[in-house]
Amino acid sequence: MWGELMPKWRRAQKQHQCQGDGCAKFIATGERYLDRALRHPTNSHLRYCQECAEPVIARANGYHMFNGRSDFPDRYHQHISSAQWKTLKRKVIEQLGNRCQRCRQVSASLALHHIHYRSLGSEQPEDVELLCPECHTGADEARAAKSRPKYDEPEEGLIVGPNGDHWGKLDPDTIYIPLKDGRYVPVPLKRNGKS
């Protein structure tokens, strides 16, 4: 998945159960295992024995985070200066003409804009837009605004989810248990035999 951290090899400080598909092996103290940190829910980890780690590493090589740094900018700039990208631009101009797809202005300085990055490196004409400099800047700003959290600073006393969603008022007498899908379940604390 995009934005996930690269798994790391570690030595077990305590015993863990391997979380590989169908694996029932326990990772013993001092044994080497693969630790995959998850972003959602925060501070969660999946641990894999040596045998189950190979497919996890293979999938992780497609991730966009290595050693805590995103390699996406490097791969992106390398790709948009490639012959493949220039061929795609020529193909789109041949199909649509030398006009901006948004404002319809004829321009000599049109650029391809990614509608999404899922197909980076193997884009088709439907994955990009041909835009003038003004529309391209606007499209980039709109995409950046869409990916920003809705609330820059949470209001005091509110629970704010990872996407900036307000989940409700914070109750100091409640424990919030994270679920795998990123939601939280509120569980009231029991005080002096009362719930």
CATH number at residue 94: 3.40.1800
Burial degree of 106 (CB within 10 A; 0-12, 13-18, 19+): exposed
Structure tokens at 103: 């404002």
Indicate whether 55 and 115 sit together in one domain. no
The reply to whether 2 falls in a domain is: no
The reply to whether 193 falls in a domain is: yes
Cα 73 from Cα 127, distance rounded (Å): 18
Percent of the chain with pLDDT over 90: 28
H-type alpha helices, 5-148: 50-60, 72-80, 83-96, 133-147
Q: Look at residue 154 in the predicted model and tell me its pLDDT.
A: 44
The reply to whether 1 falls in a domain is: no
Indicate whether 172 and 132 sit together in one domain. no
Q: Look at residue 39 in the predicted model and tell me its pLDDT.
A: 63
Q: Look at residue 112 in the predicted model and tell me its pLDDT.
A: 92
The reply to whether 44 falls in a domain is: yes
The reply to whether 188 falls in a domain is: yes
Q: Look at residue 155 in the predicted model and tell me its pLDDT.
A: 47
- What's the domain range around 140? 73-147
Instruction: Judge contact between 100 and 112, C-beta under 8 A.
Output: no
Q: Look at residue 90 in the predicted model and tell me its pLDDT.
A: 92
How many domains does the chain contain in total? 3
Whether pTM > 0.75 for this model: the answer is no
Indicate whether 55 and 80 sit together in one domain. no
Q: Look at residue 158 in the predicted model and tell me its pLDDT.
A: 56
Indicate whether 42 and 92 sit together in one domain. no
Indicate whether 134 and 162 sit together in one domain. no
Q: Look at residue 172 in the predicted model and tell me its pLDDT.
A: 65
Indicate whether 136 and 157 sit together in one domain. no
Residue 186 above 60 pLDDT?
A: yes
The reply to whether 3 falls in a domain is: no
At 28, the pLDDT band (50, 70, 90 cuts) reads very high
> Looking at residues 176-189, what average pLDDT do you find?
72
> Looking at residues 128-132, what average pLDDT do you find?
93
